[in-house]
Structure 1
Amino acid sequence: MRKGMISACMAAALIVSPVMAKPGFEQYVASLKDEAREAGISDALLERAFDGIEYHERAVSSDRNQPERRLTLDEYIPRAVPDWKVAQAKKLYNQHYDALKKVGEQYQVQPRFIVALWGVESNFGKLQGSYNVIEALSTLAFDGRREAFFRKETMAALTILQQGHIAPEDMKGSWAGAMGQSQFMPSSFINYAVDGNQDGKKDIWQTEADVFASAANYLKQAGWDDTYTWGRQVQVPEQLDRSLLGTGADKGLLLSDWQTKGVRRMNGQALPKVDIKAWLIQPDDEKGRAYLVYNNYQSLLKWNRSHYFALAVSHLADRIKFD
């Protein structure tokens, strides 16, 4: 029995607590407080925001250990946009249609893209993250790999608290500090969050009117144009010059130019006869899926630089409309 007790104690000692004491972290937090005071954050709020926070080992582990194997788009899209999510998206689209239509008209963003972003970012608000945002950001700033970025985000999060949009104990998010149903980083909140229901607070955690308006405002400021959609999957000729691929400013060609180069719709038919610039992307390899994407897709990339993210949102938006 004694041997069993010793083994159990040794096993427990090997388990790393997700929140732990860390030499130097307390002093680092003190420097964050000093910087925040200089920026006008009150002492009362600082004491409340930093009360009880510790170094969060799990946040650092998540930051440093991203999955090495990446799914192909053929594997990823069905997982990111499963039938059950499409059904839920359509149901919520219809349920909130009046509010979405109003926001869509105000910001000139098609409502289906607002719902698609909502679904991809947080499963329609169900998966917002449970990390204390101030604790996660302070930990990642202290870790040092991207100190300047996370220190700036910590200051932005404190500004949000100072403005009274949410209480410190309710400011929850991902391990990286992305917050609410729209998963805005604090700096994105400062720049794009909107008080959609006019109650004096920008609440992207619980208030859907604010979530919808904030997402639409982000897209609009990122250059969205509701005259057009995002793009389409295409067939690419084997002999196409692959130096043409990419989303750089110098890579965009008119659809008529892509037509001349042999790019076709997935059914083999000619591309639309529309005078619009498009970019050709093939995120996996020369045998993977290819897409011609428009400027609205570029706006999605400003939200998140991942092609996988932007394509998941785009496919979900299309299925809301066409299924």
Structure 2
Amino acid sequence: MPLRVLLIALMFLAAPLAAQDRAAVESQFRTWLEQTVWPRARERGVSRATFERSFAGVTLNWDLPDLVPPGTTPRTPDRQTQAEFGSPGAYFNRGSIDGATAVGREMARRHAASLAAAEKATGVPGHIVLGIWGRESGYGRVAIPHNAFRVLGTKGFMSTRAAYFTDELVAALTIAQGGHAPGGALKSSWAGALGQPQFMPSNFRLYAADGDGDGRADIWTSEADTIASIATYLQRHGWVAGRDWGFEVRVPDAVSCTLEGPDQGRPIAQWAAMGIERVSGRPFPANELAGEGFLLMPAGRGGPAFIVTPNFYVLKDYNMSDLYALFVGHVGDRIAYGSGDFAAPWGQVGGLYRSDVARMQRALERMGHDVGGADGLPGFKTRRSIGRWQEAAGRPATCFPEAAMKSALTP
């Protein structure tokens, strides 16, 4: 799972428990497995043997984020202990971009037939599949270290999203019952995601596909099945065949950054008529002009800007992060077309404590702005709300939180 999700989870940390208290919680965990999880698993066709084998030796993982042990309540970490919110540009570090591109080109050659077959079946271009595959598991080269039943059991038993993870735990048990994981090993990320596409267990049940024709969907060891599964996921989430994901653009000063967002779309021809141009100097493709496009400025005026298509938001369905979807599209373009870096640099934005951003968000909410929740993360609703406040105050709109705003917004 991506950095954004982990940062959100770290907002909710429970106070540490003494060793004797942890022992009591471990006992409650075993009771919960028997009284809550086992009946649900049994209803889904999971045998007692599979259940016991899955939880043999499993204890709670106290190192996971987002935990709320019984008898405690979530708390927001102190200002001094929380990380600063970094520049969006840090997500596109040189090593990650170059590594994903170089290996992705190798994979494009090695798996050309599987990528072509997946594109024919789903309409999803192979280079987009490669972008996701590279980001999620380094094309299957990144070790996936955790016991899925320990992770999902812990988070189902004691986290702020316990119901969600309990559902995923039951889904994981059905995967074990079906013998889908080679050798019976069910390893996951810290959030319970499985295999090379990093599917949550429920998504495996819905979207895992057989790409090599052997009659089973193996997202752990089969590259062809991994490719087919990612493409199937995107197709079923609405990928529009024949459309791009988006284009880096130059946004004139006369076009407000407050026009950003998936709820403010207009035909790409209209964006062009407003003076927005591709940084490449080429016109927007003719087949895109009548289609809906959306302004994306992930660092406000302090970084690259984009006109994205509905396919960008399909990528976000894979992982709810603007930066994730942008990374996937960017790496995919580099693999397929030899594209270079973004034309506009990432400015020196970020570096604020999340508590500071959250206070700004709450102040904007009191003014009537919809910031998308006071979570300390500058999503598109927060960015454009800042821009609208700046414009109303007669300030140049930058659409990104800055240190100088703290005193003005939260006196």
TM-score under structure 2 normalisation? 0.69
Q: Relative to 1, partners in 2 of residues 1:181 and 1:24: Cα closer, same or farther, differing over 3 Å?
A: same
Deviation at 1:123, TM superposition (A): 0.5
Equivalence for 1:36: 41
Alpha-carbon separation, structure 1, partners of 2:270 and 2:66: 47
Is the CA contact 1:255–1:272 (under 8 Å) kept in the aligned structure 2? Answer: no
Q: Where does residue 286 of structure 1 map in the other structure?
A: 301
Does the C-alpha gap of structure 1 residues 154 and 312 become closer, same or farther in structure 2, counting only changes over 3 Å?
same
SS at structure 1 position matched to 2:84? coil
SS at match of 1:195: coil
Corresponding residue of 1:11: none
Q: Are 2:165 and 1:165 aligned?
A: no
Label 1:88 to 1:173 Cα distance change in 2 as closer, same or farther (>3 A): same
Candidates 302, 313, 321, aligned match of 2:328: 313
Match of 2:29 among 2, 25, 28: 25
Q: Deviations over 1:267-315 (max 9, x none)?
A: 5665444221111111222322211101111110111111111111101
Overall identity of the aligned pairs, in %: 33
**C-alpha separation in 2, matches of 1:139 and 1:168:** 23
4+ aligned runs moved over 6 Å, structure 1: 61-67
In the other structure, the counterpart of 2:234 is: 219
**Aligned equivalents of 1:125 and 1:269: distance in 2?**
36
Cα distance in structure 2, aligned partners of 1:300 and 1:23: 41
Report what 2:251 is aligned to. Answer: 236
- Equivalent positions of 1:101-250 (< 5 A) are 101-166=116-181, 169-248=184-263
Distance in 2, matches of 1:67 and 1:164, equals 42
For 2:128, give the aligned amino acid.
F
Q: Secondary structure at the match of 2:64?
A: helix
SS in 1 for 2:65: helix
Is the 2:257–2:300 Cα contact (8 Å) retained in structure 1? no
CA deviation string 1:125-168 (max 9, x = no partner): 01252111111001011113111110111111111122221268
Q: Is the 8 A contact 1:232 1:291 kept in 2?
A: yes
Q: Cα 1:288–1:62, aligned 2, differ >3 Å: closer, same or farther?
A: farther
Aligned residues: 305
Q: Residue deviations 1:103-142, cap 9 Å, x none?
A: 2111111111111111111001012521111110010111
Match of 1:3 in 2: none
Structure 1: unaligned runs, 5 residues or longer: 1-13
Deviation of the 1:68 alpha carbon: 3.7
TM-score (norm. length: structure 1) = 0.86
- Residue of structure 2 equivalent to 1:47: 52
Q: Work out the CA distance in 2 between the residues paired with 1:74 and 1:312.
A: 11
Find the counterpart in structure 2 of residue 256 from structure 1. 269
CA distance in 1, matches of 2:237, 2:330: 20
Judged with a 3 Å threshold, the aligned counterparts in structure 2 of structure 1 residues 178 and 235 are, in CA distance, closer, same or farther, namely same
Give the SS at the match of 1:292. Answer: strand
Code of the residue aligned with 2:238 in structure 1: it is G
Question: Relative to 1, partners in 2 of residues 1:101 and 1:70: Cα closer, same or farther, differing over 3 Å?
Answer: farther
CA deviation vs aligned residue, 1:149-202 (integer Å, no higher than 9, x gap)? 101111111111222212685110101101110000111111111122233332
Range with bigger deviation, 312-321 or 100-109: 100-109
Residue segments in structure 2 that go unaligned for 5+ positions in a row: 1-15, 69-73, 339-411
Q: CA deviation at 1:45?
A: 1.0
